[in-house]
Amino acid sequence: MKLNTNYSKLEENYLFTEIAVRTKRFVEANPDKPLIKLGIGDVTLPLSPFVADAIIGAFEELKHKETFRGYGPELGYGFARNAVVEYYRRYGVELQMDEITIGDGIGSDIANITDLFEKGANTVLVPDPVYPLYKATSLMDGQKIIYLPCTADNNFLPSPPDCKADMIYLCSPNNPTGATFDYAQLKTWVDYANGCGAVILYDNAYERFIEEDDKPHSIFCIEGARTCAIEFGSLSKTAGFTCVRSGYTIVPMELVSGGISLNKMWQQRQTTKYNGAPYPQQRGVVAALSEAGMADADRNIAEYKKNSRLIIDVLDKKGIFYSGGVNSPYVWFRCPNGMGSWEFFDYLLNELYVVGTPGVGFGDCGENYFRLSTFNTYDATKEAMSRIDAVL
């Protein structure tokens, strides 16, 4: 057998694995120290009972012969796909049901969409720093990667480069920097992609955290995006679906390259390689995207925003440069006293018993930066920030 040798390019120590190893070592050596985790971006508030009961109701149906269901449509039930259509309508975006697929989460879909592209033949733009998935999948496919430096100079929002590209990963609001494109900035990317025949793979996992009116909730709010963009949506951070697993992907009908429809290719991929998201979870998607579900989601997000406030207040007080926290569940800041990312990680862990995420783990340009997540409880976040406040 001939194996995919590109796998050997993957880095041995995945960021969160290394954090887990160092944290475990600390806890074993210091079992009595009150550790607080503001590291990994995982929600802590429970599932909306309204949403959970919709899913539970669907499982109750499956217990009875009269209401049992077998295989569902691979691309998603019409009721779930239509719920996404309705959701986008609130943002002024008109989609067709056939442009939407329901999957088991944004991670799978962002990874699996790479199936549509020729291996080892595409030039991929990847922001630096960024969520590690885009780099990893590009490496696995042997693509040529060009990194887009995201620094304080460009407010962590890269502009299109002078060279051409084939595929572009954008994540806005961004993980890890929290930086969020405004309409005009995103328009430059849409124009660039249309100009060079590239596709934008738009990770929209954090859109529900957007507060500012000049920031688009979807790339399809931008004119021209329907000929160059694929958008990935998530319920993980919005509705607490990290262990429930469901998300959706939008491939517009007008996205065509060399006469070939990417919508059709994605449908071929999913109908061949995927058996559809679980029926009960799709009932959950409908509940989560309804007015009642979104009211619950927004209440949870408001809780997390209180944690943002706690973090930002300390950074403001100390005069530490940061971004994020406003339209995003992450706060991204410069390590104090010129410390390196891992140096500051070890300092926080060993001296203050606080776990965060070293910026350099998201890319070389993240060196000297650090990410705190707002997903822990208010009390834990308050305690962590008061420890930091006391010593910095």
Pick 24 or 119: Cβ nearer a copy of itself? 119
Query: What is the closest distance, in whole angstroms, from the C-beta atom of residue 143 to a copy of itself in the complex?
Result: 10
Residue choice 18, 26, 35, 52 for contact with a copy of itself (CB under 8 A):
52
Query: What is the closest distance, in whole angstroms, from the C-beta atom of residue 296 to a copy of itself in the complex?
Result: 11
Please say whether the dihedral angle defined by the alpha carbons of residues 298, 300, 306 and 312, taken in this order, is positive or negative. Answer: negative
Residue 289 and residue 269 in contact, taking contact as beta carbons nearer than 8 Å: no
- For residue 104, CA distances in Å to 111, 248, 279, 335, 343 come to 12, 8, 11, 36, 37
Cβ burial 119-147 (10 Å sphere, 16+ → b, else e): eeebbbbbbbbbbbbbbbbbbbbebebeb
Pick 269 or 371: Cβ nearer a copy of itself? 269
Pick 217 or 382: Cβ nearer a copy of itself? 382
Within residues 248-287, the interface with a copy of itself by CB under 8 A covers: 257-258, 260, 262, 265, 268-269, 271-281
Instruction: Check residue 47 for interaction with a copy of itself (CB under 8 A).
Output: yes
Within residues 82-141, the interface with a copy of itself by CB under 8 A covers: 104-105, 107-108, 111-112, 115-119, 121-122, 133, 136-137, 140
Residue choice 38, 102, 167, 365 for contact with a copy of itself (CB under 8 A):
167
Within residues 322-381, the interface with a copy of itself by CB under 8 A covers: none
Q: Which two tokens stand for residue 261?
A: 């429809």
Q: Which residues contact 148 (CB under 8 A, 6 or more apart)?
A: 125, 126, 127, 128, 158, 161
Q: How many CA atoms within 13 Å lie on the side-chain side of 164? A: 7
Residue choice 13, 30, 33, 60 for contact with a copy of itself (CB under 8 A):
60
Q: What is the rounded CA–CA span in Å between residue 286 and residue 91? A: 17
Within residues 282-321, the interface with a copy of itself by CB under 8 A covers: none
Residue 360's nearest CA partner among 335, 348, 342 is: 342
Instruction: Check residue 62 for interaction with a copy of itself (CB under 8 A).
Output: yes
Query: What is the closest distance, in whole angstroms, from the C-beta atom of residue 316 to a copy of itself in the complex?
Result: 29
∠ CA 229-232-237, rounded to 5°:
145
Name residue, tokens 């862990």.
349
Pick 99 or 296: Cβ nearer a copy of itself? 296
Pick 265 or 320: Cβ nearer a copy of itself? 265
Stretch of residues binding a copy of itself (CB under 8 A), selected from 194-202, 307-315, 317-325, 379-387: 194-202
